[in-house]
Amino acid sequence: MIYAIGDIHGHYDKLRDAHALIEEDRALYGDDDTPIVHIGDLCDRGPQTRQVIQYLLEGVQARKEWVVLKGNHDQMFLDFLAGGDGASPRLKKGVTWLTGSMGGRDTLASYGAKKSILGSDEKFLRRARAAVPQAHVEFLNALPVWYRAEGMIFVHAGIRPGFPLDAQDEEDLLWIRDEFLWHLDAHEALIVHGHTPVDEPTHYGNRVNVDTGAGWGSDLVPVVFEHDRVYKLTPGGRSELWVPRQRPTTIVRR
């Protein structure tokens, strides 16, 4: 059995709610050693990136059975902290990590770095980079980009079809969409990913998308994998994810 949590996007309260649902489920079906995989995009858009990173860092340091993967937003944050402008060839021309809905400024605000109307951009950028604790930088830099367990591959965005995991490009693991999302054949394992928001956790047969749009105002819905079955966790209990040509079932928590 293994749990997964999708893109958090700076929503600490939603993350704690997701963990609370997992703890309730563990009490009924699992144990404290059941791993929890966080699919990446810890930062941006939400108001609590600093709290999210600190919470996950402390959990890992406490040797909890937590796996935290890196997402493309986490990498853009790191690129900015290293002195870059947060641009990426994967973004539209003129868009950077600090642009509008990308959410970089929300992340910096969570560290107390807000742009003053009177201050210069350079002063703001220096102050913003200095506001992020080194422990957070080191934590983000050390995050893996994939995790394999129980016949599944957990990754932020997806994989490039036709290439084994050890031949994948890290950029694809963080950013890929169409080539992966429209691939209908089986992969070398069931792929569990986020990066592309869906209304609810969705099983497509060869992949499971667990990004439920927390960065855009929706809930963060955890899932659990057990005996080749996948369930989303809700306050009312487990609800099995629909797989093509299979009927959904629900387990009500009593």
pLDDT digits (tens, 9 = 90+) for 140-149: 999 999 999 9
Question: What architecture is the 2-252 domain classified under in CATH?
Answer: 4-Layer Sandwich (3.60)
Percent of the chain beyond pLDDT 70?
93
Question: What predicted TM-score, i.e. pTM, was given to this entire model?
Answer: 0.93
Query: Residue 254's pLDDT band (boundaries 50, 70, 90)?
Result: very low
For the chain, the domains span: 2-252
Query: Residue 180's pLDDT band (boundaries 50, 70, 90)?
Result: very high
Q: Could you read off the pLDDT of 9-43 as tens digits, one per residue?
A: 999 999 999 999 999 999 998 777 899 999 999 99
CA–CA distances in Å: residue 141 to residues 76, 132, 189, 224? 11, 13, 26, 27
Residue 12 has what pLDDT? 98
Residue 133 has what pLDDT? 97
Q: Taking a C-beta distance cutoff of 8 angstroms, is the pair 249, 231 a contact?
A: no
Is the pLDDT at 249 greater than 50? The verdict is no
Per-chain mean pLDDT for the chain: 92
Residue type at 223 in one-letter notation: V
Is the pLDDT at 251 greater than 50? The verdict is no
